[in-house]
Amino acid sequence: MPSDPTNPSSGLDAAAALLEWYAATGVDTPLAEAPVDRFEESAKAKAAAETRAERRPPPPQAGAGRPLPPATDFAPQRSPARPVVATGPTAQLPTESTVMQARAAAQSATTLDELRALIHGFDGCNLKLTAKNTVFGDGNPASKLMLIGEAPGRDEDIEGRPFVGRSGQLLDRMLNAIGYSRNHNAYIANVIYWRPPGNRDPSDVEVAICRPFILRQIELIDPALIVFLGAQPAKALLGGEAVKQGINKLRGRWCELEIGGKRFKALPTFHPAYLLRTPIKKREAWRDFLTAKLFLENGGTLPPA
Ligand code: URA
């Protein structure tokens, strides 16, 4: 409904409705002080390129001497001015050295608390610029069962704990159904420690930067079994053949993750957010959770297939 200019609160209502709509479509993270009109930017860049093309001298005629282009054409071409809007720390392009820094920091942690503090203080991942919190992990660190998801979402970013939204509630119910819980005998973490804006997929570089930290976190927890929640954590940590496969192929298949010479047993299953959207898959996830329980209760021996 158009806002009524004679009623100041109707403008506020319209603004609130617009914000709600943005949040519902996933646009819930301000990146700069003012919006950037990318359509206008590309239209300007196109117009500038056309002007440059028009000013270029015609190609020399056959047999004619080569005319020198006007001196101005030697000047470097500037792209159209962009408004400078960011006021806080600006994003850096991560490099291989950022991954090496992450690796060195992760290796230097000898306890989980040290690792948590190092990740909190680590500024090499751009995702930290837009996240409200670092989401490290939750649960009993002495657990034999460790579950690993992909990245925090909106609720996790606000609370600073993994899997606290709707999919986390489903995960808690699934764990409870096999006699496990994060308060007692399970530990939960993600490959990525900061929420990607708008819940986009983390980039390969972001995964590469966070990877040494989650690998160290696994070493420090030292679980008997890792359950990967969805294909992304399995791909990010297993690499190799797993990278090419979808979760339907990966789930329920025993895998091994080697870290610093130690082999960890791992079992990929469906992500609870996928199960919320596709409840028919809960039956297979249930089978995976029962397999995990049997494995843990048989002292870490594989149950028959
Ligand atoms: N999805 C994830 O992969 N991790 C969370 O913490 C929440 C949702």
* pLDDT of 1 over the 80 cut: no
* Cβ–ligand 1 contact at 206 (below 6 Å): no
pLDDT in tens, 116-172: 999 999 999 999 999 999 999 999 999 999 999 999 999 999 999 999 999 999 999
Over residues 200-211, the mean pLDDT reads 96
Cα(167) to ligand 1 centroid in Å equals 7
Which atom of ligand 1 is found nearest the CA of 230?
Answer: 3
* pLDDT of 222 over the 80 cut: yes
Over residues 294-301, the mean pLDDT reads 90
Cα(89) to ligand 1 centroid in Å equals 26
User: CB count, 10 Å around CB of 143?
Assistant: 22
pLDDT in tens, 269-297: 999 999 999 999 999 999 999 999 999 99
pLDDT of residue 161: 98
Which atom of ligand 1 is found nearest the CA of 150?
Answer: 3
Pairing type for strands 225-229 and 262-269 reads parallel
Cα(290) to ligand 1 centroid in Å equals 22
* pLDDT of 82 over the 80 cut: no
Top-confidence residue, 45 or 250: 250
* Cβ–ligand 1 contact at 152 (below 6 Å): yes
Q: Which of 136, 156, 277 to mutate to test the pocket of ligand 1 (most atoms within 8 A of CB)?
A: 156
Tell me which residue of 191, 195, 129 sits closest to 160, measured CA to CA: 195
Looking at 60-74, 106-120, 125-139, 195-209, which range is the least confident one? 60-74
- How far CA 130 is from CA of 17, 27, 67, 197, 216, in Å, comes to 23, 12, 53, 7, 24
Any residues with CB less than 8 A from the CB of 110 and at least 6 apart, and which? none
Contact 140, 175 (CB under 8 A): no
Cα(99) to ligand 1 centroid in Å equals 23
User: What is the pLDDT confidence band of residue 61, given thresholds at 50, 70 and 90?
Assistant: low
pLDDT of residue 91: 56
* Extents of the domains making up the chain: 96-297
CATH topology of domain 96-297: Uracil-DNA Glycosylase, subunit E (3.40.470)
pLDDT of residue 18: 77
Six token digits for residue 276: 């919320």
Residue that is written with structure tokens 């230097």 in the block: 108
* pLDDT of 3 over the 80 cut: no
* Cβ–ligand 1 contact at 232 (below 6 Å): no
